[in-house]
Amino acid sequence: MDREAQFIGQSFAFLDSVERASRAAALNRPVLVIGERGTGKELVAERLHRLSQRWAGPLVTMNCAALPETLIEAELFGHEAGAFTGASKARVGRFEEADGGTLFLDELATLSMAAQERLLRATEYGEVTRIGSSRAIRVDVRIVAATNENLPELVERGRFRADLLDRLSFEVVTLPPLRVREGDVPVLADHFGRRMAAELGWPYWPGFGAAASQALTDHRWPGNVRELRNVVERAVYRWDDPERPVDAIQFDPFDSPWRPPSALGAGSVADAPGAGAVTSTQSPAPAAAPTLDCDDFRAAVLRHEKALLEAALKRCRFNQRATALALKLSYDQLRHALRRHDLLDRAG
């Protein structure tokens, strides 16, 4: 099984959604999969296909948001040669490709009203007509569709067809976001950490330190499991001591003292709760602006340097390696600076 096709978790909310998908798999009925980005909608679609009687048939995926509106219908239903400019030869659509199997439509809510109307006819009658043709083609396709939108609300706003929603919502599997999956973050983090350590050739997996574990648990995970995987794998590959537990976590990979200024001003992503680094690489700012008026330049520089070190140590919970990363120093450079300011006894 590849790296993407795994269900990992132990929370009731997660297991309940997986069980619902498993029960629906055996029925030859359409299923809607609802969930935030990164919750695993693609995995549920694959599970619905693999556990169905169509498992030996094709599983065809189409991201409805990845194509311009003018090409979506041609992708879904195919076209004949000369049907429109650029159509030099006939092409089968995704429905024909998925004949005898499952068609997974991701980002369903982005379909135009015209495409929704043709999709409704295809699901109701099991027939598709290529663009530029008058001959209907019979297809045997099971529809699994996914979205992170509130489809009933889109129906009320006139952006989604009510009859198509009725046709596709025989079963609705709603995936819980990671922040409500109690106890699943440590399990997933350990899984991704072990896998990354093995990829890097580490002799064994040392786990996470207390500060990193707490940071992972406290984060809200707006990107859900996909974000967690990236954060954990990044932390492991950046950690330079495989003998010690990983204890430096950076949630925002774009965080940097040289980050381009935001055009959004206040309230940008960098200022959002949970953004940036928690135990490692966010560049700390001193508590107060340094004075610009002094009679001893070297003493003023040393005072400011000590203030930066103390602030960084506090932010990184007095973890020296995390502090070195935060200040863009090597471990030896940080130790030398701490010794110069008599701060070694305060660093763990």
List CB contacts of 225: < 8 A, sequence separation 6 or more. 38, 39, 40, 178, 188
Q: Which two tokens stand for residue 164?
A: 């198509």
Q: Are 28 and 109 contained in the same domain?
A: yes
Q: Are 83 and 75 in contact (CB under 8 A)?
A: no
Q: Are 76 and 160 contained in the same domain?
A: yes
Q: For residue 267, is it within any domain?
A: no
Centre a 10 Å sphere on the Cβ of residue 272 and count the other Cβ atoms it contains: 12
* Owning domain of residue 345: 283-348
Assign 280 a pLDDT band (cuts: 50, 70, 90).
Answer: very low
Choice between 345 and 155, residue whose per-residue pLDDT is larger: 155
Q: Are 126 and 235 contained in the same domain?
A: no
Single residue among 176, 199, 221 that ends a domain in this structure: 176
pLDDT at 345 over 80: no
Pairing of strands 102-106, 59-63: parallel
Q: Are 42 and 83 contained in the same domain?
A: yes
The predicted structure's pLDDT at residue 54: 96
Mean confidence (pLDDT) of the chain: 87
Assign 295 a pLDDT band (cuts: 50, 70, 90).
Answer: confident
Single residue among 176, 198, 230 that ends a domain in this structure: 176
pLDDT at 205 over 80: yes
Does the global pTM surpass 0.75?
no
Q: What is the CA radius of gyration of the chain?
A: 27
Domain count, the chain: 3
The predicted structure's pLDDT at residue 348: 59
Q: Are 330 and 230 contained in the same domain?
A: no
Backbone torsions φ then ψ of 171, nearest 5 degrees: -135, 140
Q: Are 247 and 153 contained in the same domain?
A: no
pLDDT at 276 over 50: no
Burial of residue 219 (CB within 10 Å: 0-12, 13-18, 19+) is buried
pLDDT in tens, 133-192: 888 999 999 999 999 999 999 999 999 999 999 999 999 999 999 999 999 999 999 999
Which run of H or of E encompasses 29? none
Q: CATH no. for residue 307?
A: 1.10.10
pLDDT in tens, 231-270: 999 999 999 999 999 999 999 999 887 878 876 554 444 4
Choice between 291 and 199, residue whose per-residue pLDDT is larger: 199
Choice between 312 and 52, residue whose per-residue pLDDT is larger: 52
Q: CATH no. for residue 156?
A: 3.40.50.300
Tell me what the mean pLDDT of segment 210-216 comes to.
94
Q: Are 224 and 83 contained in the same domain?
A: no
Q: Are 132 and 32 contained in the same domain?
A: yes
Tell me 7's DSSP state. -
Residue 6's region, left for phi above 0, alpha for psi from -120 to 50, else beta, is beta
Q: Are 83 and 172 contained in the same domain?
A: yes
pLDDT in tens, 76-113: 998 888 777 777 788 889 999 999 999 999 999 999 99
Q: Are 39 and 63 contained in the same domain?
A: yes
CA distance 267 to 23: 44
Q: For residue 1, is it within any domain?
A: no
Q: Are 256 and 287 contained in the same domain?
A: no
321-348 residues labelled b (16+ CB within 10 A) or e (exposed):
bbbbbbbebeeeebeebbeeeebeeebe
Single residue among 260, 294, 319 that ends a domain in this structure: 260
Choice between 347 and 210, residue whose per-residue pLDDT is larger: 210
Tell me 63's DSSP state. E
Q: CATH no. for residue 212?
A: 1.10.8.60
Name the β-bridge partners of 145.
32, 105
Q: Are 16 and 162 contained in the same domain?
A: yes
How many percent of the chain have pLDDT more than 90? 59
Q: For residue 272, is it within any domain?
A: no
The least confident of 254-258, 284-288, 342-346 is 284-288
Using the Cα atoms of residue 77, residue 78, residue 82 and residue 87 in order, give the sign of their dihedral: positive
From residue 148, how far is each of 33, 68, 106, 184 by CA, in Å? Answer: 9, 19, 10, 21
Q: Are 248 and 279 in contact (CB under 8 A)?
A: yes
Tell me what the mean pLDDT of segment 112-128 comes to.
91
